[in-house]
Amino acid sequence: MEELVRMTGGEFRTVREYLGLSGDAMAALLGVAPRTIPKWESGEKPIPYRVRDEVERIERFTANAVDQLVRALEDARDPAVVVYRHDRELAEIRPELAAYTARWWRHVVARAVHDVPGVEIFFPDEVPDDAVRASL
């Protein structure tokens, strides 16, 4: 039987920041009050055991988004990708990602372009007419 291991505050914060999620965004994804996140990270409150599985699910979703974007960029002749200035813009243009944030998407893009040289990154209103957009 697998032993349950509670996340530490330091582990939780490190993963949250690596994912590009603010405390409020992580709280929304986990279904907890925003004030809970700093309490977990400071050690004031223990992190429930269930959170490890939920965070790992978010990590898998993010890794999958990075992998899909890398494949799309590698297949593009002139790779370009769109990032968003704010969450409202992301939700309007990419409603399937509305649970996440524009900052999270920029982290996904940063991780993907690290593996694919020569990618151009644009805000939606900056995309040249002849650019091929890579997306999930």
23: CATH:
1.10.3100.10
The reported pLDDT for the residue numbered 24 is 97
In a domain, 4, yes or no: no
In a domain, 43, yes or no: yes
In a domain, 87, yes or no: yes
Q: How confident is the model over 98-136, as pLDDT tens digits?
A: 999 999 999 999 999 999 989 999 999 998 766 555 444
> What is the count of structural domains for the chain?
1
Q: How confident is the model over 17-55, as pLDDT tens digits?
A: 999 999 999 999 999 999 999 999 999 999 999 999 999
Q: How confident is the model over 27-37, as pLDDT tens digits?
A: 999 999 999 99
Closest listed residue to residue 73, CA positions, set 103, 117, 107 = 117
Domain that holds residue 126: 9-134
DSSP 28-93: HHHTS-TTHHHHHHHTSSPPPTHHHHHHHHHHHHHHHHHHHHHHHHHH-SSEEEE--SSHHHHHHH
In a domain, 91, yes or no: yes
The reported pLDDT for the residue numbered 128 is 79
The reported pLDDT for the residue numbered 18 is 96
In a domain, 3, yes or no: no
